[in-house]
Amino acid sequence: LCSGEKEWLSGIVLKCNKNEEERLELSFTLSKEFPAVVKYNKEVLLEKFQTDFPVVRFMIEGSRYYDIYEALSEKLIKNIEIAVDVKGIKSVQLENDSDTLNSEKPYYPFTAQPIKGSNFYIKCPEMFSKKWLNANITINWKNTPDSIKDLYNGYIIQPGQNISLGDFQTLETSSIVTSDAYFKADAALLEKEVWYDKVNDLELFKKVEGGYKTQFSINNTNNEAGTSESIRLTLNQSSLHDVYPKLYTLALSSEPKYKKLIPNEPYIPFAEDIELSYSAKENAYSYLRKDSNGISTKSKGVQVYHEDAFGQYEKETETKSIVPVHENGGELYIGLEAVPQTTVSLLIQMLEGSENPLVDTFDEKEFIEWHILSGNTWIDLSQNMLKNETRKFLESGIVKFKIPKDINTTHTRFTDGLVWIRAKSRRSYDAVCKVQGIYTQAVLATFQNQENDLSHLNNGLEANTIKKLITRVPQVKSVNQPYNSFDGKYKEADAEFYRRVSERLRHKHRTITQWDYESLV
């Protein structure tokens, strides 16, 4: 998909040029009829990319192409190179020595009276904003004669040459325009306010089928984007319009016996249109080159985003995977409307006993990992954990932690404005119990007997029994008891007490007789 003016543009055919052990090369072609790929507009395209660049999205769809995702996830990036080859740009910025020109209409690139040193300027912001390598420029000329050489037959004096009528009549030299290649120009490139010569004596009028063209190429040796400003074409001679009046007068004044040709009017370069093609290449991330701090280089002209299940985020420099990689196991994401430097208590109610007993369970020193999202980066939360009663998500309990003060709640990989918490397990997703519910601002209430009815201790206090505080607290809006109470024990009767003590004294919970075995079972 590509970013369009009103929608995401689809229908692009992706081609795999190379698929080798250490190199993957993909390409696609956009025809002239394809809608324009423009800068990303989040108000129209409704995604979370934080960029002003045009966006191209490579998306692996569903389980059908899972093997492609799996193969890519196992590869580590050494370098990401992006290359473009653009053909036939006509919407460029043009100027001559006296005015700005409209590239959509015919124009005089060297003014209507071109002289030696007349300039024609070509600017292409699209190309100059990139690390372009080569530019090919073609100018198609309009109203050209069948032959430039034949048009100037009879032009036997040089520009600025002083000659008398008598000398002219006896002059027997041939035309100074000996071929179509007589008219030449120089090309230069403006880099950081300095002009650099690129092409000398290029042929201004090159004969092609149906007319004449100017064709030339410029190579860019600068490895920085945005430093080029303009391409300049400079005439090495006039179009001989300055010779024509003098030559015309001399020819008409000559005696017939000298058979001097009446000169044709000179051709003033008149452009039908201009076409610019260029190639550019950029390394988005390179782990082959590092800066002085040992950090891999990252281009300012290209951004690479990972597109995950919940949003998009710019790929971190230290991440060497081309696609988002999720390790085996499971992750639980919790979004909170909370502010930094506050303490949060979460009740995580598990369906105890719902774990899969056939999968590998946790090692003794292996735990659920807790992280908090700052910007688009996951940060370890272990130093801010105050309580965790869930026993590796095998029991219900309260998880209590403090949100760091410097946390950034601006995200694109998840819903913006929330504090996002991640609980991560490196074991199989079903090695833990299923979650019944998660509740914020959880506290543990312990029963204290104040001559209450104790019948509830047998089966527990039913859910939603507790609905308010005895003593109202202004900061507490409401109280909710979502689940039954637990761990309640009623007071022993005398008979039960004597029996328990007798059994304890007799065998200390060890099986001795057959009755002991039967009773224990």
Domains of the chain: 2-79+291-314 (no CATH), 87-281 (2.60.120), 330-439 (no CATH), 445-490 (no CATH), 492-520 (no CATH)
- Nearest-angstrom CA–CA distance, 188 and 218: 8
CA-CA-CA-CA torsion for 499, 505, 508, 513, nearest 10 degrees? -70
418-449: b (≥16 Cβ within 10 Å) or e:
ebbbbbbbebbeebbbebeeeeeebeeeeeee
> Between 519 and 85, where is the model more confident?
85
- pLDDT of residue 293 exceeding 70: no
Q: What is the average per-residue pLDDT within 373-394?
A: 92
Confidence of residue 294 (pLDDT cuts 50, 70, 90): low
Q: What is the average per-residue pLDDT within 277-281?
A: 94
What pLDDT digit, counting tens, does each position of 143-184 carry? Answer: 999 999 999 998 998 888 888 888 888 888 888 999 999 999
Q: What is the average per-residue pLDDT within 427-456?
A: 85
Q: What is the average per-residue pLDDT within 190-219?
A: 93
pLDDT at 22: 85
Sequence-separated (6 or more) residues with CB below 8 Å from residue 150: none
Q: What is the average per-residue pLDDT within 25-54?
A: 91
Q: What is the average per-residue pLDDT within 319-335?
A: 86
CA 191 to chain centre: 27
68: its two tokens? 């492609």
Average confidence score pLDDT of the chain: 88
- Nearest-angstrom CA–CA distance, 349 and 433: 10
Burial class (CB within 10 angstroms; exposed 0-12, middle 13-18, buried 19+) of 456: middle
Q: What is the average per-residue pLDDT within 362-384?
A: 91
Most confident of 158-162, 390-394, 517-521: 390-394
CB neighbours (10 Å) of residue 228? Answer: 25
- Nearest-angstrom CA–CA distance, 20 and 26: 12
- Gyration radius (Cα) of the chain, Å: 41
- Nearest-angstrom CA–CA distance, 483 and 462: 7
Backbone phi, then psi, for 77, in 5-degree steps?
-80, 135
What pLDDT digit, counting tens, does each position of 117-147 carry? Answer: 999 999 999 999 889 999 999 999 999 999 9
pLDDT at 521: 67
CB neighbours (10 Å) of residue 232? Answer: 19
Nearest residue to 381 (alpha-carbon basis) of 419, 432, 428 = 419
Sequence-separated (6 or more) residues with CB below 8 Å from residue 344: 336, 338, 400, 401, 402, 403, 440, 441
Report the relative pairing of strands 184-191 and 228-235 from DSSP bridges.
antiparallel
Q: What is the average per-residue pLDDT within 427-435?
A: 91
CA 491 to chain centre: 67
DSSP state of 518: H
